[in-house]
Chains A and B, each alone.
Chain A
Amino acid sequence: MARINSVAELEELRKGILSKIEPDKPCIAICAGIACLGLGNDRVISAFEEEIRKQSLETKVDIRATGCHGFCEKGPIVVIYPEEICYLEVTPEDVPEIITQTVVGKKVIDRLIYTDPNTGAKAVHQFEIPFYKNQSRLLIGNNPKINPKSIEDYLAIGGYSALAKALFAMNPEQVLEEIKKANLRGRGGGGFPAGSKWETTRNAPGEEKYVIVNAHEGEPGAFMDRALFTGNPHLVLEGLIIGAYTIGSHQGFIYTRHDTPQLRENIDIALSEAKEYGLLGKNILGSGFNFNVEVHLDVGIFVSGESSALMRSIEGKAPEPRPKYIRTSVSGIWNKPSNLNNVETWANVPQIINNGSKWYSSIGTERSKGTKLISLSGNICNTGVVEVPMGTSLKEIIYNFGGGIPNGKKLKAVHFGGPMGGSIPESLIDSPLDFDVLSKLGTSLGAGDMLVLDEDNCMVEVARYFLDFLSGESCGKCVPCREGIRQMLKILTDITDGKGKEGDIELLEEIAGVVGEAALCSLGRSVPKPLLSMLKYFRDEYEAHIKDKRCPALFCKELKKGEL
């Protein structure tokens, strides 16, 4: 493929790709997201390839292995175009029938489509399934249409048009203004306005500046960044290049997971394809703008997702955070100004540039704009990736998309943000998805991992679990974090073992207060959050463990004996 040297050539290429597409030609899109892979979808894909060969349909039917479709609970998922018939829980044994009946015969196989477990109603198309209905899948909705290993599929849906617009129709100041007006807030946990962060880096002294994608996704229960980045790598890359142009950076880094081979592979392919087409490297699209990207791998410790630790890690050093008064936007990698954003934050950029900040800020709540990807997991019927406008109520997410709580159990709590987040009780689930509302309630939206807990979960045990996790994932550099977590963990372990003492809760609150104030980085400073939120809403459970030696959820082994 020859490189593209102008917007006209880009549009020419796009036209060429679109003209090759035959709208009536059947295409089988098979989800190859991480959950579907775990369910053996590689065997489903081979079965399709084999059956197509057997029936000599190679020229008549296309196959597309795609990124995550979101409805992980029902994988492997297969969508048959052009009718967009959606089949769930497909096995290799189903494949010959799908080809003969549906692809060739144009008949729907009843057994493979979605059936509502409550009403028995059937849904033939993805958009009719309650899980998908009423979501706003602006970021992840294109996944079924894209082979993430092919830049052509991304170009076919309008990819890189925002980059062309930014480079040729806008100057960096105008792009920055648009991002600021859109009020795009960071999706990695803190919700910091992306525009002002970009501006700080842009204005920081020094010629050399860096832009970075944080694709570490270390929070247990968070899998939306992986789903988005693996499924549509060019979307994130396009956002990054636009950011680099705006900030005045010529070198970018992607910091990503070492343990997700499909993610690594798709990123590598996307980078080399973008380079080949002249969308990366020297003189991008003939604009005179140069930009390169390098991939770095995390090595399996949670703290390396923290901004300053991540930058140390890119330098090849141990990922130890440093005090926040030195801002990484001004002094980051090799002490050069470095702008770090989350995968989802970057992915929002192209649509803001394409549609304008006015359009973007019409979605969401007053201070939280756009849509948010949520990884929904725990005691929920439909585990998966959900994308909804900010402001959607938690109740809607749990019941409309999540399908409610399995096994007839009662909902007890919703936990956001993993070990650095907080829990809120069932009584507050009418609350909207909103950075500020959730943080006022004592939790935080975090990266968007929403853990649903039913009545069988012990809230003392959940807090103990998070501290246990953090004790292994803290870098150990500062004393309040290193020792504080250990002591809190010890007390909580005692409580779950039935050895809780009068005064333990107060002591926990005191240590939590010190760690929260004195720790070096946000990991340590967030340590108290899960615990304090639980003491706020579930204090009686802690007291029952200590005073009555009773675990109300009947979870703690040592305390079960005390039950009637």
Chain B
Amino acid sequence: MSPTYEKADSGSGERRRSGKETMDNDRIEQILNEHQGQAGSLIKVLMEIQEQNHWLPREVLVKVSEKLEVPLSRVLRIATFYKTFSLTPKGRHEIHVCTGTACKVRGAQRVLDEVQELTGIKPGETDSDLKFSLETVNCQGCCSLGPMIEVDGKTHSKISPAEIADALKKYE
């Protein structure tokens, strides 16, 4: 019944990829200049930087605070409140395991256990080689593909624990 290609990795190519590359300062300056003095844009600005850089270094947060004229304490509060923001560097590859209800009902826990076993890290952690970061996510909106994991935005659908090692092998 299942199509034969469903195990293949796929997904829209425009999804962000992660990597260790540090963000170029020009781009940060550009984002900050666009929102100079606009305290209300705090979340938007952090979001843009997070999307580009994959994490928020402290010196960048200080700059955000100065440019947007928001106290650093508030910048830190927002940056730590939301799960999407990371105050530590991410690995070259970001693994997202969906633990939403539909995926859970179809065995997401065993998938997560296997990913933890293979990478040696828990959700929220990055390994010491900066190869993988692991996060759990809630419902990606494609419950028909569950259980599923995403690596760098690529979906591996209806994955069984036995297939995970193979799926992760490709990533350097």
Q: What is the interface of chain A, defined by CB distance below 8 A to chain B?
A: 34-35, 37-40, 42-43, 72-73, 75, 89, 91, 117, 217-223, 226-227, 258-262, 296-297, 299-302, 313, 315-319, 375, 377-379, 383-384, 415, 418, 449, 451, 453, 457, 465, 469, 472, 475
- Does B12 contact A42, Cβ atoms closer than 8 Å? yes
Asked whether A297 lies within 8 Å of B47 as measured between CB atoms, the reply is yes
Q: Which of A223, A261, A296, A457 has the most CB of B within 10 A?
A: A223
Chain A residue, CB-CB nearest to B98: A220
Most B-side CB within 10 Å, residue of A300, A384, A475: A300
CB distance from B82 to the nearest CB of A (A): 4
Q: Are A221 and B102 in contact (CB under 8 A)?
A: yes
- Report whether A465 and B104 are in contact in the complex, using a CB–CB cutoff of 8 Å: yes
Q: Given A91-B3, A453-B105 in contact, is the A220-B14 Cβ separation under 8 Å? A: no
Given contact pairs A318-B77, A318-B78, A383 touches B144 in the complex (Cβ within 8 A): yes
Interface residue from B14, B84, B100, B144 paired with A261 (Cβ < 8 Å): B14
Q: Which residues of A contact B82 (CB under 8 A)?
A: 299-301
From A91, A383, A451, A469, give the contact of B138 (CB < 8 A).
Answer: A469
Stretch of B18-26, B36-44, B126-134, B163-171 lying at the A interface? B36-44
- Given A220-B101, A261-B14, A316-B43, does the pair A300, B83 have CB atoms closer than 8 Å? yes
Instruction: Give the nearest-CB partner of A41 in chain B.
Output: B10
Q: Which residues of A contact B77 (CB under 8 A)?
A: 318
In B99-138, which residues have CB < 8 Å from any A CB? 100-102, 104-106, 137-138
- Contact, CB under 8 Å: B102 / A315: no
CA distance A221 to B98 in the complex (A): 11
Q: Which residue of A lies closest to B137 (CB)?
A: A259
- Decide if B95 is an interface residue (CB 8 Å cutoff): no
A261 and B40 form a contact (CB under 8 A): no
Assess the A451–B5 pair: CB atoms within 8 A: no
One of B6, B41, B138, B141 near A39 (C-beta < 8 A): B6
Given A38-B10, A40-B8, A220-B139; A301-B83 close (CB under 8 Å):
yes
| Complex-state Cα separation, A43 to B8, whole angstroms | 11
Are B12 and A451 neighbours in the complex by a CB distance under 8 Å?
no
Cα distance A418–B104 in the bound complex, in angstroms: 13
Among A217, A218, A378, max chain B CB count under 10 A is at: A378
Contact of B43 among A43, A227, A313 (CB under 8 A): A313
Cβ contact within 8 Å between B15 and A451? no
Which residue from A89, A259, A383 sits with its C-beta under 8 Å from B140? A259
Contacts of A315 in B (CB 8 A): 40
Question: What are 27 A-B pairs at a CB distance below 8 A?
Answer: A34-B142, A35-B144, A38-B155, A39-B3, A42-B12, A91-B3, A220-B138, A221-B100, A221-B102, A222-B139, A223-B139, A223-B141, A223-B142, A226-B141, A259-B84, A261-B12, A296-B43, A297-B43, A299-B46, A301-B82, A313-B43, A316-B39, A377-B105, A378-B102, A379-B106, A415-B101, A465-B101
Decide: B4 and A72 in contact? CB cutoff 8 A.
no
Tell me whether B12 and A37 are in contact (CB under 8 A). yes
CB under 8 Å from chain A, chain B span 49-87: 77-78, 81-85
A39 and B145 form a contact (CB under 8 A): yes
| A418 to B99 Cα, complex, angstroms | 13
Q: How far is the CB of A269 from chain B (nearest CB, A)?
A: 14
- Which of A260, A297, A300 touches B141 (beta carbons < 8 Å)? A260
Nearest Cβ on chain A to B102's Cβ, whole angstroms:
4
Query: 4 closest A-B pairs (Cβ-Cβ)?
Result: A40-B10, A220-B100, A383-B144, A377-B102
Closest CB of chain A to B63's CB: distance in Å?
Answer: 17
A75 nearest CB neighbor, chain B only: B144
Please, how many angstroms separate the alpha-carbon atoms of A72 and B105 in the complex?
17
Partner of B84, one of A223, A258, A378: A258
B contact residues vs A (CB 8 Å cutoff): 1, 3-6, 8, 10-15, 39-44, 46-47, 77-78, 81-85, 100-102, 104-106, 137-146, 148, 155, 157
Q: Provided the pairs A301-B83, A316-B39 are in contact, do residues A379 and B141 lie with their beta carbons within 8 angstroms?
A: no
Output the least CB separation between B141 and chain A (Å). 4
Best-surrounded residue of B1, B40, B81, B85 (most CB of chain A within 10 A) = B81
Contacts of B78 in A (CB 8 A): 316-318
Most A CB within 10 A of own CB, among B39, B47, B82, B102:
B102
Given contacts A221-B101, A299-B84, contact A316 B42 (CB under 8 A): yes
Check B138 against A302 for contact (C-beta < 8 Å).
yes
With contacts A38-B155, A299-B82, A315-B40 known, is A258 near B144, CB below 8 A? no
Partner pick for A300 among B14, B84, B105, CB 8 A cutoff:
B84
Partner of A35, one of B4, B5, B145: B145
Question: In the assembly, what is the distance between CA of A218 and CA of B155, in Å?
Answer: 20
Bound form: Cα–Cα A418–B24 in Å: 41
Contact present for A117 and B1 (CB under 8 Å): yes
* Residues in chain B near residue A218, CB distance under 8 A: 138
Chain A neighbourhood of B4, CB < 8 A: 91
CB neighbours (8 Å) of A465 from chain B are 101, 104
A221 to B39, CA, bound (A): 34
Q: Kindly provide the distance from the CB of B170 to the nearest chain A CB, expressed in whole angstroms.
A: 15
Residue of B nearest to A224 (CB): B141
> Contact: A384 with B144, CB < 8 Å?
yes
Measured CB to CB, the closest approach of chain A to B126, in angstroms, equals 18
Instruction: Please name all residues of chain B whose beta carbon is closer than 8 Å to the beta carbon of A217 when the two chains form the complex.
Output: 141
Are B10 and A39 in contact, CB atoms less than 8 angstroms apart?
A: yes
The reply to whether A375 and B143 contact each other, CB–CB distance below 8 Å, is: yes
Q: Which residue of A lies closest to B41 (CB)?
A: A316
Give Cα distance in the complex from A451 to B105, angstroms: 9
B48's nearest neighbour on chain A, judged by CB, is A297
Nearest chain B CB to A464's CB is how many angstroms away?
Answer: 11
Q: What residues of A have a CB within 8 angstroms of the CB of B101 in the complex?
A: 220-221, 377-378, 415, 418, 449, 451, 465
Checking A222, A297, A415, A449 against B44 with a beta-carbon cut-off of 8 angstroms, the contacting residue is A297
User: Taking the nearest CB of chain B, how far is it from the CB of A314, in angstroms?
Assistant: 8
> Would B139 and A221 count as touching, CB distance under 8 A?
yes
Closest Cβ of chain B to A56, distance in Å, is: 27
